[in-house]
Structure formats: C-alpha cells, structure tokens
Amino acid sequence: MSDDIDQEALAAEWEAAASGDQPDFDAIGGDDGDAGDGGDDLASEWEAMVGGEGETYLPSQSGSAPERILNQEEIDSLLGFSVSDDDENERSGIRAIINSALVSYERLPMLDIVFDRMVRLMTTSLRNFTSDNVEVSLDNVSSIRFGDYLNSIPLPAILAVFRAKQLDNYGLLTVDSNLIYSIVDVLLGGRRGTSAMRVEGRPYTTIERTLVQRMIEVVLADAKSAFAPLTEVDFDLDRVETNPRFAAIARPANAAVLVKLRIDMEDRGGRIELMLPYATLEPIRKMLLQQFMGEKFGRDNIWESHLATELWSTKMEVSAVLDEMQRPLGEVMELKVGDTLMLDTGPDGAVELRCGAISLTHGRMGRIGHNIGVRLDKPLSPAAKKNLMGYT
C-alpha cells in the first residue's frame, strides 16, 4: 500500500508541474525555499548556456569561459552540405574527403584533347546528317559516381548503351527530350524559325527512336575517330533504353567521366551527355596521362638515337676457335718452342666464333689472298644477340 501511495503522490506532483502549479516539495521530503533557489539557479544556468540566437554554450569543467557549440549553418558547412546544394559546385568539408576517392578527370590531360577533337568532328558530321546549321559545344567535363548520375537524369530521355570492343567494357550516351524533338523536327522537314513541338506524357514512337538511334550512331562514329590517334576503339551501339534502371552498366559507387555536349540548330537544340566509367578507360590510362600526343614517359629519343649510333660503331674482338683440349698443368709448363699440338679437327672442320665467353655462330675456315678467313654457315643465334645487348 505504501508503494501505491508514493506512486500516486509522484503522479500528482507531475500533473501539477504540467499545469503550471507549484509542486508540493514536502510530499517528497523537499524544502520550499531550497526548491525555489534551485529553480532560479537552473534558469540562470540555461540562460548562460544560450549565448545568443542560434549559438549554444556549455559550461566548462574548469570553471572558466563556457565552451561554444556550432550552430546548424556551421555544422552544414563542416559536413559539406547546404540547402541549395548543386552537383556542379565544389564540395567542401567531410563530404569532400568522402568524394576524394573519385579520380579527377584533370589527371587525364589527353581526355580534353580527345573531346575537343570529338566536338569538331560532330559539328561536321551532324551538319551533313541534318542538312542544317549545327553548332556543337563542350559544356564541361567532370567526374561523378555512376549512381548519382542515373538519379540526376531528367526524364523523359533516351539512353543508349554502347560497347567499346577493344576496351571490353561499356559506356552510356544520354539524349535529352529537347534534342530528341528537335532532331525529329529537323529530319522530318519542320519549319525553321519555330521551336519543336513537344508532347509530354507519352512514350517515344518507333519513328522517333529510329531517328534518334541514327544520330547516336553518328556520334559514336565520331567518338571512334576522336580516339583513333591514341588507340583503335570501336564503339558499337548495344541497346536503347528509356528507363535508367535498364541502363546500369556499372556499380552505383563506381566513378565515371561525364562529358556534357550542347547541340544548337538555330533556335532548336538540346544536350547529349557521354559517360565513360573509369573501368572502361583503364586499359588506355597510360595514354590518357600524356600531356601531348605521342609523349613517352621516362624516355629521351635524342639520347636513344645517340646511344644506338655509338653501339653500332663500337669495335669488338671476335675469336675463331678451331678446337679445345685439356692437358695437365705440368705438361703445359714443359712446352717448348717447336712443339706440336695435334688438334682433333680437320681442314674442313667447323670453326666456332666467340666474343669473350659468348658463342656467336659457326663457320668454315679458308684463305682469301694472303689472309685466313672464316665463312659463316648460319646467322647469329638469338641467345647470342641478347647476351651481346646485355639482357642477361
């Protein structure tokens, strides 16, 4: 019974506190004066902790100046997030550290040259394709994660998955709705000076998909020509999708290079986005690291040419070995002038040519005028060439 009474008293006390009445501290053994002083001290402590609008302070354990707590805006800045977050803006804070795993395209200088060449080729090929005045411009090149890019594609759009044969991987090309309707309008003889009519809320027809697919094939052919000075790559169209879920060619966390191209046809036009995962570019990564076309790292062509010239003009001593025999050291020490050594070979026997301890080839001994010569029976052996060049 005593426990029930204490619980009822405690409930009545909380009910009185919630209604704004002064609680009865005597019911739980408290003192009114002490309770009032404790409430005032608690209120003053909370006022000291709150130092202003949006800034909070905690009392220091050392009893000196209170410690300041960051407000929400400072926390967002530290984490790298903001309300007006834009993918094109530079990241900062902890978010920049997380995204530092992305390999910046700026570390691949040759990509800029390839894409500039692709823009020039597309300008000419699309003019021939549409019989219209087409201007192609490169908006920007950036690094992005594949999952973030799929979530940022504005729909409706057409996504073309293509395969790079020599690189044994895939890429993605996205055509936005503005360019789709513009290409269809131009190819079907739409009037100039009027914007293309857009019909929202319906899927693309077979005619629209076919016309856009022809344009995509032209763009992929230009991409092949742009990469040709570096390496031969065939970009073959694999399939055309309208749902980004069916265009997944890499893991969401994988990094990729995103190229945004702007195509203008007088008052019509749109965007094409070319996305190449870094896994696709990995086989030609060393080529993309070059600062200019044909650069070779760690090599000096002038020094190589000079060294090769000196090597070809170097004189070397070649010995013709008729035969070899082994004799005791005592017998050799007793040799005198006029002694004869009988060799186990005939006049037509094979003669071995050596350079030091390296065996080069074999030949036949003969006479040319007053000189003794050796006619080679076969060319130098591959092992002898490697030994002479210092590979072993």
Q: How far apart are CA 247 and CA 170, in angstroms?
A: 10
CA distance 204 to 202: 7
pLDDT at 365: 80
CB 157: neighbour CB atoms within 10 A? 22
User: How many Å from the N-terminal Cα to the C-terminal Cα in the chain?
Assistant: 100
Distance of CA 335 to the CA centre of its chain: 76
What is d(CA 172, CA 30) in angstroms, rounded to the nearest whole number?
A: 74
pLDDT at 23: 46
Q: Give SS3 for 330.
A: helix
Same-domain check for residues 152 and 230: yes
What was the pLDDT predicted at 299?
59
Q: Are residues 373 and 261 in the same domain?
A: no
Domain shared by 198 and 275, yes or no: yes
Domain assignment of residue 8, yes or no:
no
The gap from C-alpha 288 to its chain's centroid, in whole angstroms, comes to: 10
Position 305 in a domain: no
Cα 66 from chain centre: 48
Residues 261 and 330 in one domain: no
From the list 306, 312, 321, the residue with the least C-alpha distance to 365 is 321
Distance of CA 284 to the CA centre of its chain: 11
Positions in the chain short of pLDDT 70: 1-7, 10-11, 13-68, 76-106, 192-201, 291-300, 384-392
Cis? peptide before 156, omega within 30° of 0? yes
Separation CA 68–CA 57 (nearest Å)? 4
Distance CA 380, CA 392 (A): 16
Residues in Cβ contact with 115 at an 8 Å cutoff, skipping those fewer than 6 apart: 138, 141, 226, 259
Q: Please give the Cα distance from 179 to 270 (Å, whole number).
A: 4
Q: What token pair was written down for 384?
A: 């002898």
d(CA 388, CA 382): 10
| Domain end (from 54, 84, 114) | 84
In whole angstroms, what is the distance from residue 324 CA to residue 334 CA? 19
Strands of 319-321's sheet, edge to edge? Answer: 319-321, 350-355, 358-368, 371-376
Does residue 195 form part of some domain? yes
- Residue 214, pLDDT score: 93
Based on the fold, state whether residues 136 and 165 are members of the same structural domain: yes
316 dihedral zone (left: phi>0; alpha: psi -120 to 50; beta): beta
Contacts of 364 (CB under 8 A, 6+ apart): 348, 350, 351, 374, 375, 377
Shortest CA distance to 108 belongs to which of 281, 241, 267? 281
Q: Are residues 115 and 55 part of one domain?
A: no
- Residue 195, pLDDT score: 61
Domain that holds residue 333: 315-388
Confirm if 155 and 239 have CB atoms less than 8 A apart. no
Q: What is the pLDDT of residue 274?
A: 92
Question: Concatenated DSSP letters for 251-265?
Answer: -TT-EEEEEEEEEEE
CATH number at residue 111: 3.40.1550.10
Contact between 25 and 35 (Cβ < 8 Å): yes
User: Any residues with CB less than 8 A from the CB of 299 and at least 6 apart, and which?
Assistant: none
- Kindly state whether residue 130 falls inside one of the protein's structural domains: yes
Q: Judge if 236 and 324 occupy the same domain.
A: no
By C-alpha distance, which of 157, 108, 117 is closest to 255?
Answer: 108
Distance CA 321, CA 299 (A): 40
Q: Same structural domain for residues 262 and 339?
A: no
- What is the H or E stretch that residue 287 is in? helix 285-288
Are 71 and 192 in the same domain? no
Residues 279, 373: one domain? no
> Do 163 and 47 sit in the same domain of this protein?
no
**167 part of a folded domain:** yes
Asked whether residue 119 falls in the same domain as residue 192, the answer is yes
Q: Is residue 139 part of a domain?
A: yes
Q: What is the CATH number of the domain that holds 323?
A: 2.30.330.10
276 belongs to a structural domain: yes
Domain assignment present for 12: no
If one counts every other C-beta atom within 10 angstroms of the C-beta of residue 192, the result is 12
- What total number of domains does the chain contain? 3
